[in-house]
Chain A
Amino acid sequence: QQQVKQSPQSLIVQKGGISIINCAYENTAFDYFPWYQQFPGKGPALLIAIRPDVSEKKEGRFTISFNKSAKQFSLHIMDSQPGDSATYFCAPQETSGSRLTFGEGTQLTVNP
Chain B
Amino acid sequence: DAGITQSPRHKVTETGTPVTLRCHQTENHRYMYWYRQDPGHGLRLIHYSYGVKDTDKGEVSDGYSVSRSKTEDFLLTLESATSSQTSVYFCAIRRQENTGELFFGEGSRLTVL
Q: How large is the interface on A (under 10, 10 to 19, 20 to 34, 35 or more residues)?
A: 20 to 34
**Residues of the A chain whose Cβ atoms lie less than 8 Å from the Cβ of B45:** 99-101
Known: A98-B48, A101-B59. A34 touches B42 (CB 8 A): no
- Bound complex: CA A43 to CA B102 (Å): 10
Answer yes or no: B62 CB below 8 A from chain A CBs: no
Asked whether, in the complex, the Cβ of A43 is within 8 Å of the Cβ of B104, the reply is yes
Known: A1-B59, A98-B56, A100-B94. A46 touches B101 (CB 8 A): yes
B31 in complex: contacting residue of A36, A41, A45, A98, CB < 8 Å: A98
Asked whether, in the complex, the Cβ of B100 is within 8 Å of the Cβ of A93, the reply is yes
**Residues of the B chain whose Cβ atoms lie less than 8 Å from the Cβ of A49:** 99, 101
A residues adjacent to B (C-beta < 8 A): 1, 6, 32, 34, 36, 41-46, 49, 89, 91, 93-95, 98-105
